[in-house]
Amino acid sequence: MQDVIFFDQRPRPDRDQTPRERRYYVWTVGCQMNISDSERLEAALQGVGYSPATRPEDASFVVLNSCSVRASAEERILGKLGELVRVKRQHPDTKIVLWGCMVGPNNRSIFADQLPMVDHFVSPSAVDEVVALAPNPIYTLDEPALPVRDWSHPPVSVHVPIQYGCNMTCSYCVIPLRRGRERSRPLAEIVEEVRRIVARGAKEITLLGQIVDSWGHDLPNRPELADLLEAVDPTPGLLRLRFLTSHPAWMTDRLIETVARLPRCQPEINLPVQAGSDRVLKLMRRGYTVARYKALIARIRAAIPDISLTTDIIVGHPGETEDDFRQTMDLCTEIGFDKVHIAAFSARSGTRAAEQEQDPALAIPPAVKEERRRRLEQLQEQIATERMARFLGQTVEVLVEGESKGKWRGRTPGNRLVFFSHPADLTGQLVPVEITATSPWSLQGVPQLDNSVNAQSKENGLVKAR
């Protein structure tokens, strides 16, 4: 998935009438998949009669949704569990669940022996199993919960998992060990879920999978991601459709053509390359060469000239030489990615790369990893600066997501962040914005709205007092 995100539960009002025994607290570390799982869990817990708490000591049911992609993510969760020891002493009836990628298939965790404060360990994405552990439900769910925790303020964009697990054997990745083999959700189930989400106010859907373009190969008749996009694109009320994260081995010409043709599919593809050296790609077990990757990029750009390309790169993989790293820098310069998610290699127990790092001849010193990461970040900042500068003076279509520091925040079709000022509440609307300033990470602009649009906003009560 894309870059690791640390997502703490956002404050929201407690429901004063709900006693502590029917309050929950969810704390999440991880990628978009983990965030989506937690959103669905919170919706389900509210459906069985629970209300959110803003502090773990105010809840009888505490769930930590964990990540194992990097050591820092695990350390963050372990630190939070250490804090919960005090809560457990004060309230011995508190049930604590460790959920997510720190727990493997069959609810087994290599951390179990060192975490006596945890009552239950639950494998990733098993929302129903977590809900079943809640000690004091008063209702049962009439239908599957959607990945949205609060429908009183519908989110503009919602991530919908379409596949769980991974069949790849990349040297550095612990996901297959923790999430198990790939399991695709049925097409009809996904289409119906998207319909329900959009009908309740969402405008943009992002389909999620560890290797999203391999979706469907384990289902009857072996549908492809292109088939799913065809089925979701006509959803009434849907404005934009995206997907991530792709793998070069599964990106087909048919999928590229489908993205280019469908009206709601956005011109953005996240295609992790991980390294620009064939030797390192082989060590990583990625299954493609640099030449094959560049040929794929050329086909994508030929079919979708305005495509926004993002990628993931790991620096400091065991065995990476300075020459290998320079080849990665050269590849980034040649392709000109719009965004690069950069990580220094972090050994994960049980992976082939973790074994390789035990060899002094292959291990990369931490200082070298960090130095390479900084150099690549500096290069990408230069590239991003040039690519974003192209939009100066242009008018772009922005889907407004909400407010941020006194301005409206939204994204272009290519998923570039845009900020602008306007007196009306434009959340969820497509707004033309003329770009007046650019930076490597975002755009600033002025909305191009005529008086009729402003008048309609006032008529609908959307003008906010400032």
Per residue in 394-420, pLDDT (tens digit) is 999 999 999 999 999 999 999 999 999
Give long-range contacts, CB 8 A cutoff, 24+ apart: 113-116.
Answer: 115/78, 115/81
Check residue 16 and give its pLDDT.
57
Q: Are 343 and 312 in contact (CB under 8 A)?
A: yes
DSSP per-residue codes, 294-337: HHHHHHHHHH-TT-EEEEEEEE--TT--HHHHHHHHHHHHHHT-
pLDDT range class, residue 196, cuts 50, 70, 90: very high
Q: Please give the structure tokens belonging to residue 131.
A: 């809900």
Check residue 110 and give its pLDDT.
87
Q: Where are the beta strands (DSSP E) in 72-211?
A: 95-100, 120-122, 157-161, 163-164, 183-184, 204-208
Indicate whether 17 pLDDT > 80: no
Q: Are 198 and 205 in contact (CB under 8 A)?
A: yes
Amino acid at 229: L
For all residues of the chain together, what is the average pLDDT? 92
Q: How far is 201 from 443, CA to CA, in rounded Å? A: 26
Read off the pLDDT of residues 282-337 as tens digits, 9 standing for 90 and up.
Answer: 999 999 999 999 999 999 999 999 999 999 999 999 999 999 999 999 999 999 99
What is the phi/psi pair of residue 300, to 5°? -65, -45
pLDDT range class, residue 449, cuts 50, 70, 90: confident
Helices (H) and strands (E) in the chain, counts: 13, 19
Check residue 453 and give its pLDDT.
43
Q: How far is 68 from 127, CA to CA, in rounded Å? A: 18
Read off the pLDDT of residues 247-296 as tens digits, 9 standing for 90 and up.
Answer: 999 999 999 999 999 999 999 999 999 999 999 999 999 999 999 999 99
